[in-house]
């Protein structure tokens, strides 16, 4: 269902962008809008003026305090940014037509999200790293910063195009994908285990963990595959703990 595509706006500053985003969502058949720590108000006159038949989307928008709260039930999460500098961004970016088929494929299973950052600065590296990929809209490099609502409209136009193609070909996966919250718990468990066996250490720890996240996220892991990765993490922690114990020492909790 196309309506399972969620638009997440993070710390939006200008009410006009809230309204124009709601209008674009109405144009392309979406209604699930989540605002993370918004600075602008959905009740501002400029937001209402720019929404043009999207007022209902503003009225039902959910306001949350963290990005994780906005994404907790999502199967695929794609960030958007014109900035692809640095390891976190170069590893996982692509054009809308390259990245959005993956999001559209999982919509029959449940929510998936597009995340847009604040107008002055865009999403932080930490926020980009929480997502499963990064969309970069190809514009003239002389001035690459799109207006927020324009970026939303471009991405949603591609979402709808890919969705219509999928309807024509009935090209939907049969594998259920683990929700964002389950994947995050698994990634934290893996981080603990990989740190314990010294795969993650020093200045290389965060870039390596980001690479691991992207590798696993691209596979769209199922709930069972997430459980397997939890098992891998438990075993790594057991091996790391055993290597620090005198011979014959029992490891509490191994039966878990």
221-252 confidence digits (pLDDT tens): 999 999 999 999 999 999 988 887 655 545 44
- Integer Cα distance of 148 and 116 in angstroms: 7
Q: What's the whole-model pTM score? A: 0.72
Check whether 254 has a pLDDT greater than 50: no
Q: What is the average pLDDT across 144-160?
A: 94
Domains within the chain, CATH numbers bracketed: 2-169 (3.40.1280.10), 180-242 (1.10.8)
* pLDDT of residue 253 exceeding 50: no
pLDDT tens figures, 50-104: 999 999 999 999 999 999 999 999 999 999 987 766 666 666 778 999 999 999 9
* pLDDT, tens only, 1-14: 899 999 999 999 99
pLDDT of the residue at 2? 93
- In this prediction, residue 243 carries a pLDDT of 81
pLDDT in tens, 165-208: 888 765 555 578 899 999 999 999 999 999 999 999 998 899 99
Cα three-residue angle 25-112-90, rounded to 5 degrees: 100
Confidence (pLDDT) at 90 = 64
Question: How many Cα neighbours within 13 Å face the side chain of 44?
Answer: 17
User: Would you state the pLDDT for residue 91?
Assistant: 64
């Amino acid at each position: 269902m196309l309506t399972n595509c969620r638009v997440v706006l993070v710390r939006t500053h200008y009410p006009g962008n809230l309204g124009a985003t709601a209008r674009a969502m109405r144009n392309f058949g979406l209604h699930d809008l989540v605002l993370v720590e918004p600075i602008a108000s959905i009740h501002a006159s400029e937001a209402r003026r720019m929404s043009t038949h999207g007022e209902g989307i503003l009225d039902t928008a959910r306001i949350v305090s963290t990005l994780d709260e906005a994404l907790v039930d999502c199967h695929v999460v794609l960030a958007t940014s014109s900035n692809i500098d640095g390891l976190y961004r170069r590893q996982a970016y692509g054009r809308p037509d390259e990245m959005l088929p993956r999001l559209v494929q999982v919509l029959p299973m449940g929510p998936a999200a597009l995340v847009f950052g604040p107008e002055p600065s865009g999403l932080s590296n930490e926020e980009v790293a929480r997502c499963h990929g990064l969309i970069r809209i190809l514009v003239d490099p002389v001035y690459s910063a799109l207006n927020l609502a324009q970026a939303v409209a471009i991405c949603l136009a591609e979402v709808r195009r890919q969705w219509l193609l999928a309807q024509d070909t009935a090209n939907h996966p049969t594998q259920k994908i683990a929700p964002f919250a389950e994947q995050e718990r698994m990634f934290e468990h893996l981080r603990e285990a990989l740190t314990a066996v010294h795969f993650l250490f020093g200045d290389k720890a965060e870039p390596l963990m980001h690479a691991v996240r992207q590798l696993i996220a691209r596979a769209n892991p199922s709930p069972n595959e997430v459980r397997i990765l939890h098992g891998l993490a438990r075993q790594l922690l057991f091996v790391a703990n055993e290597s620090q114990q005198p011979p014959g020492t029992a490891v509490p909790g191994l039966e878990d």
